[in-house]
Amino acid sequence: MGKKRYELRVLPLFEEDMSEIADYIPYRLQNPIAADALVDAVEKAIYERLPNAESFEPYISSREHRYPYYRIQVKNFTVFYVVIDNVMEVRRILYSRRDWKNQISAMRRGSVRGPPSAISFPAAARPQRRRRG
C-alpha cells in the first residue's frame, strides 16, 4: 500500500497572522534576523510535517470539530492545521503564550471562511528590510 500524499493549502488568516508576526519582530522588537529565522523555521516545520500530517496526536478541545486540529510547535509559536481528505490546511499561527484557546473558538465560529490562498506564506510573510541611508 502506498503512502498517502498530502497537498498543502494555506488560509489567508494564517498569512495575516504570519505577516503581523513578521512585522512585529523586526520593527517593534528591532530584530529582523529573528524575524527571518522564525519565518524560515515555520516554513521548514510545515514542510517537514506535510508527508505525515495525520501521524500526530490531534489537539483535544472542549468542542467537537468537523475536522480535528493538529499543532506544530515552532519556537514560541503554535501552527494549527486540519487535514481534509489529502489536503493539509494550515489555518493559524499564534503566539504560544497568548490565550489561543479563545482564538481557536473564533476559528470554529467561521472567521476562517473564504477562499484559501496559494502556497505563498514565506514570501508574503518575509519582512521588508528598511534601507538605511
State pLDDT tens for residues 24-83: 998 888 999 999 999 999 999 999 999 999 999 998 877 777 899 999 999 999 999 999
Joined grid coordinates for residue 19: 505577516
Cα distance between residue 33 and residue 91, in whole Å: 25
Query: What pTM, to 2 d.p., does this model score?
Result: 0.74
Length reported for the chain: 133
Cα distance between residue 51 and residue 18, in whole Å: 22
pLDDT over 90, % of the chain: 56
- Long-range contacts of the stretch 23-27 (C-beta < 8 A, 24+): 23/127, 25/127, 26/127, 26/129, 27/127
Q: Is residue 9 scored above 70 in pLDDT?
A: yes
Nearest Cα neighbor of 75 from 103, 107, 34 is 34
Cα distance between residue 28 and residue 127, in whole Å: 12
In this structure, are strands 69-74 and 7-10 parallel, antiparallel, or unpaired? unpaired
Q: Compute the average pLDDT of residues 13-31.
A: 92
Q: What per-residue confidence (pLDDT) applies to 105?
A: 55
